Structure 1
């Protein structure tokens, strides 16, 4: 049974569509990432689910009961839905332990388990104005979790963190959400975070959902070039260009084909279906991106072969299974 149901929700902000006839469902314990360019409607969607934005049309339900918007109740928000963004506030001049004590609804020592998972024991005696930005964010998240929400909405809360602290926070959220069966929705611009963390990805553009699928499907089989670009590097080749590279495909000649750089494999000559010359080589930390000229068609290729150098001729294999027709 769906825990959250969104039925035909629309919202205009300053005469511009922020959400256009959105209908979605989320099950308990699911981790969902919401991606899209700035202004695509991601944050408005989260805030509408949280009861912080009043939809112009449509309804949001949590466990079969309508989530009331700010025009329908005195204090906006829902007790079982926690919302955390980059922009948050903590009470000033209070000790952390005081802030958390006032927010705590947990019983039987559950809060101690939460504090251990979140590694905040050393911060309890400090006052909130003495905390770093990352420490404040950690305390803000713990304060929300002390209400033991059924739903946790994360609106780019870790975008200003360095990789080490961001990974710690995401691991912490994942551990707590799994232990308490919390349904999590996170807005993020990081392909690495999205693909690693989520079980489902929703891509938005211009107030509408472009694609709703598993991380692997949305990465390998995006509906269009826009969605492909949200999750990493890609090549777009026409069918005539593919034919020029030496790869024979049966697609209509007017199709655009999306191919991820890692789908090109550097191989021995007898396994190759194209030959190219390396024009550029860029180190990425976990491998190399090559720009390769294949009979006048430039393609991006990812490889871990360190020995390859600019000017080398290389043999490449590309499978039709790694090609996706996009709009």
Structure 2
């Protein structure tokens, strides 16, 4: 069942297009992510979906009901939709228990279970100004969940958190979907937020939708260099080297290019492929980065061990798709 339907939504401000006309749907329990560089229009689109920003054209429907923008509603926002930004915006100097009690629409036992899920049951007696950034974000999330939303909109929720608090909040959001059955839509510019979590990703650039697909499709089959760069390291191979690499997509066009991830390149001492010379071998922790000079390009590959050294002759090929 489709929970969210976005139809021809656009936003023009001061004669500049912030969001170009875009349409898509999100089924219930489907984890959808909006990705793109800063200024791509991701957060603005999320705020339109939440009913916090008035679109120039189009409409949003949640479970078939139209979302009214702030120009049409006395109180901005839509029932059943919760919006979590990167800033918690909690009331200052109130006890956590007070903040949550005012927001709760759930029985006491359900509320307590939510506090435990959000890892904040030990924080109830503290004041909001005594909380760390990660604790504030978890309290803010619990406050939203107390309203029993059907759709949770997550606007860069991890951007101000350290590694430990980020991992903790990621685990909680995963449980929100599985245990509470709440559908989530995440905005992020960070590949590590999107790739392991999303069922599907929409990539925006300057307000326009440039590619849509599964994380695997966007990672291994990016539409262009912009999409490739969003999701990790890549090599851009031009000219005859592209043909020598043996890519299944290779053509005879001299100007053709190949986007390939470092881990897709296979190093060998001989055999079919593009001949090259090792320029550098760098220890990166969980792998070695090998920089290779091909006849026309420099590429970087990944290897589990330091099996070659600068100056070694190698042959590079592209691993077969799995």
What's the TM-score, normalizing by structure 2? 0.93
Relative distance call for 1:223 and 1:103 in structure 2 (3 A) is same
Relative distance call for 1:176 and 1:96 in structure 2 (3 A) is same
Q: Give the total of aligned pairs.
A: 321
Residue matched to 2:110: 110
Q: Does the Cα contact within 8 Å between 1:247 and 1:273 map onto a contact in 2?
A: no
Residue matched to 2:258: 257
1:5 is displaced (CA, Å) by 0.4
Residue matched to 2:123: 123
Residue matched to 2:144: 144
Matches for 1:50-129 after TM superposition, within 5 Å: 50-107=50-107, 109-129=109-129
The DSSP-based 3-state class of the residue aligned with 1:197 is coil
1:313 is displaced (CA, Å) by 2.9
Residue matched to 2:42: 42
CA distance in 2, matches of 1:102, 1:175: 24
* Range that drifts further, 24-33 or 287-296: 287-296
Residue matched to 2:230: 230
CA distance in 1, matches of 2:178, 2:290: 40
Residue matched to 2:166: 166
CA distance in 2, matches of 1:38, 1:13: 17
CA distance in 1, matches of 2:121, 2:246: 62
Relative distance call for 1:248 and 1:193 in structure 2 (3 A) is closer
The DSSP-based 3-state class of the residue aligned with 1:91 is coil
- 5+ unaligned residues in a row in structure 2: which ranges? none
The DSSP-based 3-state class of the residue aligned with 2:310 is coil
Residue matched to 1:154: 154
CA distance in 2, matches of 1:293, 1:184: 44
1:103 is displaced (CA, Å) by 0.9
CA distance in 2, matches of 1:173, 1:137: 12
Once the two structures are superposed, residues 58-96 of structure 1 have per-residue CA deviations (whole angstroms, 9 ceiling, x without a partner) of 000001110010000111011211111123311122110
Residue matched to 2:288: 288
CA distance in 2, matches of 1:73, 1:243: 59
CA distance in 2, matches of 1:266, 1:9: 47
Q: Does the Cα contact within 8 Å between 2:239 and 2:296 map onto a contact in 1?
A: no
- 5+ unaligned residues in a row in structure 1: which ranges? 323-327
1:125 is displaced (CA, Å) by 0.5
The DSSP-based 3-state class of the residue aligned with 1:122 is coil
Q: Does the Cα contact within 8 Å between 1:267 and 1:316 map onto a contact in 2?
A: yes
* Range that drifts further, 73-82 or 110-119: 110-119
